[in-house]
């Protein structure tokens, strides 16, 4: 019985030490010479308004879609930039996009499926 309690304690400790909350840490960097105006980050079921992004500025937020999703930037004037990463509820990790007012230049995708 004592051995079983020790094993259970070790398993619970390992679970606590490795647990990460669901959601993807998203970093958006404006690497262009022009500001990005009226930026909203969109995933299925949720919008994250972040406002204006000056040249060289970085914004960070946590994305939690409610269904199958890609990441999209909605900009002032109806323009859109598609980040293109695939997310689902429960996914974890990080995603970084370097953009200008006209294009997505690079995406660093370190997103992984989570355990529900």
Any idea what the CATH number is for the domain that residue 64 is in?
2.60.40.2890
Domain containing residue 103: 21-112
Residue at 6 is within a domain? no
Q: What is the pLDDT along the chain (116 residues), one digit of tens a residue?
A: 778 766 666 555 444 444 456 799 999 999 999 999 999 999 999 999 999 999 999 999 999 999 999 999 999 999 999 998 899 998 999 999 999 999 999 999 999 887 65
Report how many domains make up the chain: 1
Q: Distance (Å, rounded) from C-alpha 71 to C-alpha 89?
A: 13
- Widest Cα–Cα separation across the chain: 67
Does residue 12 form part of some domain? no
Burial class (CB in 10 A: 0-12, 13-18, 19+), 40: middle
* pLDDT the model gives residue 6: 65
pLDDT number for residue 83: 94
In a domain, 92, yes or no: yes
Q: What is the pLDDT of residue 41?
A: 97
Does residue 53 lie in a domain region?
yes
- What's the pTM value of the predicted model, to 2 decimals? 0.80
For residue 2, tell me if it sits in a domain. no
Residue 39 belongs to a domain: yes
- Residue 21: Cβ-neighbour burial (10 angstroms; 0-12, 13-18, 19+): exposed
């Amino acid at each position: 019985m004592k051995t079983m309690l020790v094993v259970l304690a070790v398993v619970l400790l390992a679970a606590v030490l490795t647990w990460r909350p669901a959601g993807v840490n998203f970093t958006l960097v404006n690497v262009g010479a022009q500001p990005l105006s009226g930026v909203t980050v969109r995933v299925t079921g949720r919008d994250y308004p972040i406002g204006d992004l000056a040249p060289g500025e970085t914004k960070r937020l946590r994305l939690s879609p409610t269904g199958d999703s890609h990441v999209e930037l909605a900009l002032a004037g109806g323009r859109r930039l598609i980040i293109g990463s695939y997310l689902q509820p429960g996914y974890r990790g990080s995603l970084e996009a370097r953009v200008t007012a006209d294009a997505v230049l690079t995406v660093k995708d370190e997103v992984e499926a989570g355990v529900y």
